Amino acid sequence: MKTFDYVRPATISDAIAAAAEPGAAYLAAGTNLLDLMKGGITGPSRLVDVMRLPGLDRIERLPDGGVRIGALVRNADLAHDPDFARSYPAIAEALLSGASAQLRNAATVGGNLLQRTRCGYFYDPASACNKRQPGAGCDARDGENRLHAVLGWSEACIATHPSDFCVPLVALDAFVEIEGRNGRRKVALEDLHRLPGNTPERESVLEPGDLIVALRLPSEARTLSAHARYLKVRERTSYAFAIVSAAAAMRIEHGTIRDARIALGGVAPKPWRAHAAEKILAGCHPDPATFRRAAEAALADAKPSGDNRFKIELAQRIIVRALTLAAAGTPQRIPALPASPFSSVSGALHDA
């Protein structure tokens, strides 16, 4: 591992100043960063430890009905918060489907948003990867690529974004609060991550020194809690990233869909909001034919990036399944196998 400096600032402003220097990186729980450093994938010259910054580990209910989640809130603490799980069940289910219990106990909300791709070529220093080394090429294009992107990819990069948590967040119009050298600003989570284009090494809109301090969900997201699910297809039910995942949430009144939200994971370099599918659902009855039309619209622009054409049909099917489960109503218990299509409903009570 490359030698690095370690600093532990006492304030957010000190952290930003320290992290704005070339070669610096923020360190929270380190569940992704430390692995990358040990493998020689990344080598920051300075680590800025933010885990002890005050005020970033709180879940705050806002007067307007929304919620503000500090960037240092642990994934497990958020998923098991009773009020949060009742109000945003698809997010809680997504969190509990990711990683292992031990990692969820350590990993933070802010770190989850910014985790790096799990593309095998990115993790292999002997392989060409434009994301790791700009201009090197992309060995995934002609390599083992059945799990790679079918939406939003470019010739420079076909990797996918790995987060489960981000998928329902994007569907529910979450946004992040970012503190930087020029003050604080808000960015919609859908706009936080960049598509690769010709610069896949630039994964987000964050500038040097920028620190995500909080995540916020608007009050409108609560109105979808009665019909909300997250579904994830993976190669093994325990501790695996999504081949394809989908978050579906609806507000249904008198048998008609008044509002619908759909987002996909595992199919693109960023969490993918399916706006065209949502428009098809609005004003319609929740039935299989409508769900299939919405699913087809969501993948209308999809194209294989290699040996992964199957992911297009799989994504359509997972959308239909997620919508069907959401239309049936959010279960009172988080499934025993969260987000699994093979799960029984019996599991943890939302208000346990």
pLDDT digits 0-9 by tens, 254-285:
999 999 999 999 999 999 999 999 999 999 99
Q: Under CATH, domain 224-342 is a member of which superfamily?
A: CO dehydrogenase flavoprotein, C-terminal domain (3.30.390.50)
**Amino acid identity, position 47:** L
| Residue 70 contacts residue 213 (beta carbons within 8 Å) | yes
pLDDT over threshold 80, residue 338: yes
Q: φ, ψ for residue 325 (rounded to 5)?
A: -65, -40
User: Of 80-84, 195-199, 333-337, which gets the smallest average pLDDT?
Assistant: 333-337
Window from 56-65, 75-84, 229-238, 288-297 with minimum mean pLDDT: 229-238
Phi, psi of 177 (to 5 degrees): -100, 125
Close Cβ partners of 180 (under 8 Å, ≥ 6 residues apart): 16, 207, 209, 210, 211
Q: Which CATH code fits 1-52?
A: 3.30.43.10
In contact, 151 and 276? CB cutoff 8 Å: no
Name the average pLDDT for the chain: 96
- Contact in structure between 341 and 322 (CB atoms under 8 Å): no
Query: Would you tell me how many other CB atoms lie within 10 Å of the CB of residue 12?
Result: 17
The answer to whether residue 349 scores a pLDDT higher than 80 is no
Q: What letter represents residue 23's amino acid?
A: G
- List the alpha helices (DSSP H) in the chain: 12-19, 33-38, 75-79, 82-87, 89-96, 101-106, 109-113, 166-171, 189-192, 275-281, 288-298, 310-328
The amino acid sitting at 109 is V
> Contact 347/102 with Cβ under 8 angstroms?
no
Task: Please answer whether residues 48 and 18 qualify as being in contact, where contact means their C-beta atoms are separated by less than 8 angstroms.
Answer: yes
Distance CA 134, CA 115 (A): 19
pTM score, two decimals?
0.96
Domain range summary for the chain, segments of one domain joined by +: 1-52, 224-342
Give yes or no for a contact between 108 and 215, defined as CB atoms under 8 angstroms apart. Answer: no
Per-residue tokens: 120: 């095998």
What would the mean pLDDT of 132-136 be, rounded to a whole number?
Answer: 97
Q: Would you state the pLDDT for residue 238? A: 80
For residue 345, name the pLDDT band (cuts at 50, 70, 90): low
Q: Contacts by 20-25 with C-beta closer than 8 Å and gap 24+?
A: 20/181, 20/208, 20/209, 21/46, 21/208, 22/208, 24/48, 24/208, 24/209
Check pLDDT > 50 for residue 346.
no
- 350, pLDDT greater than 90: no
Predicted confidence (pLDDT) per residue in 12-33, tens digit: 999 999 999 999 999 999 999 9
